[in-house]
């Protein structure tokens, strides 16, 4: 990341962060993706990969406005959020105060390319839709995630999929790269992370999204409008239906060895190799 400042200007605007903060709790996409993450992490805990919440130290790398920090309280009584946007961290603090959970939240400003934490600091790291950003070096960020995980620690990762599906949303959110499954697997392994589950997600709605992205490329005015945050937001029948459709992918992703074959996102459950036993 080339910048003379320790905290470069984030590609995501403050206005976009504010919109996300206002809408994400009532948006079908966030509810559906949270259900997928919960299924994979619940399975990891049932398999003994995660310690009890009282013993688990969790980090959300690139925490944005803090919704995932609240979600992580299911798995850890001590959660840390890292982001390089001071504006986003202020919104995190607002969310913590509103939930009366400030004592369990720790916020830190920094880049996922060079995290300000000691080696082996966390039992669980989540990183959702961060590696694709223009300000992030994905290879360096994965190496940092592996560094701050303790041996045997768990990673939940979500990234955008298929570069051919770039659209208005990508411009608004500074998404510079979308991944394919083999590429992401190779980069995870190169960072020293074992891949326990790797699947596409947002599969059932993939045909609709594909048509939408094609039309965006053909029609004028594809200039980065991010009103897709408003689509399906709120307590509407459409939002509820879309949320249920997306959430219904969770058991398929968890059960099938190869996961789902295509989708707008890739989700990963990974693990740092455990330390070798002493001779």
- Summarised one tens digit per residue, pLDDT across range 157-193 is 999 999 888 777 777 778 889 999 999 999 999 999 9
| CB within 8 Å of 84: residues ≥ 6 apart | 7, 8, 10, 109, 110, 111, 112, 135
**Per-residue confidence at 224, pLDDT binned at 50, 70, 90?**
very low
Query: Is the pLDDT reported for residue 1 higher than 50?
Result: no
Place of tokens 């003994």: 48
- The answer on pLDDT for 102 being more than 80 is no
* Model pLDDT, residue 222: 46
How does pLDDT run across 104-120, given as a tens digit for each residue?
A: 899 999 999 999 999 99
Domain boundaries, the chain: 14-272
Kindly tell me if the per-residue pLDDT of 5 is higher than 60.
no
The per-residue DSSP string of 80-106 comes to EEEES-HHHHHHHHHHHHHTT-GGGEE
**Mean pLDDT, residues 236-252 taken together:** 92
Give the pLDDT of residue 4.
30
Mean per-residue pLDDT, 11-21: 86
Q: Provide mean pLDDT across the span 60-85.
A: 96
CB-based burial of residue 227 (10 Å sphere; 0-12 exposed, 13-18 middle, 19+ buried)?
Answer: exposed
The values of phi and psi at residue 266, to 5°, are -120, 135
CATH of domain 14-272: 3.40.50.150
Judge whether 201 and 242 are in contact, CB under 8 Å.
no
Length of the chain: 279
**Mean pLDDT for the stretch of residues 236-240:** 84
Q: What percent of the chain has pLDDT over 90?
A: 67
Q: What is the pLDDT of residue 115?
A: 98
pLDDT of 129: 94
Place 2 in a pLDDT band, splitting at 50, 70 and 90: very low
pTM for the model stands at 0.89
What's the chain's average pLDDT? 88
CA distance 47 to 156: 15
Please say if the pLDDT value at position 7 is more than 50: no
Which pLDDT value is given to residue 232?
A: 56
């Amino acid at each position: 990341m080339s910048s003379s400042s320790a905290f470069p200007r984030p590609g995501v605007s403050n206005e976009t962060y504010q919109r996300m903060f206002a809408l994400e709790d009532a948006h079908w996409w966030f509810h559906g993706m949270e259900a997928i993450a919960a299924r994979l992490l619940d399975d990891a805990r049932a398999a003994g990969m995660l310690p009890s919440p009282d013993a688990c130290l969790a980090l959300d790398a690139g925490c944005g406005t803090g919704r995932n920090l609240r979600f992580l309280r299911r798995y850890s009584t001590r959660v840390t959020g890292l982001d390089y946007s001071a504006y986003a961290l202020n919104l995190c603090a607002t969310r913590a105060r509103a939930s009366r959970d400030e004592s369990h939240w720790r916020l830190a400003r920094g880049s996922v390319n060079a995290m300000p934490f000691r080696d082996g600091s966390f039992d669980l790291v989540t990183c959702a839709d961060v590696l694709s950003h223009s300000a992030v070096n994905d290879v360096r960020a994965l190496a940092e995630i592996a560094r701050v995980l303790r041996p045997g620690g768990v990673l939940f990762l979500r990234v955008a999929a298929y570069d051919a599906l770039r659209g208005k949303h990508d411009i608004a959110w500074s998404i510079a790269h979308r991944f394919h499954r083999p590429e992401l697997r190779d980069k995870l392994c190169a960072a020293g992370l074992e891949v326990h589950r790797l699947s596409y997600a947002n599969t059932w709605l993939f045909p609709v999204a594909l048509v939408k992205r094609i039309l965006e490329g053909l029609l004028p005015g594809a200039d980065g409008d991010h009103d897709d945050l408003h689509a399906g937001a709120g307590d509407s029948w459409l939002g509820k239906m879309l949320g249920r459709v997306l959430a219904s992918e969770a058991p398929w992703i968890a059960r099938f060895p190869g996961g789902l074959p295509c989708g707008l996102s890739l989700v990963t459950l990974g693990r740092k190799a455990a330390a070798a036993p002493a001779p």
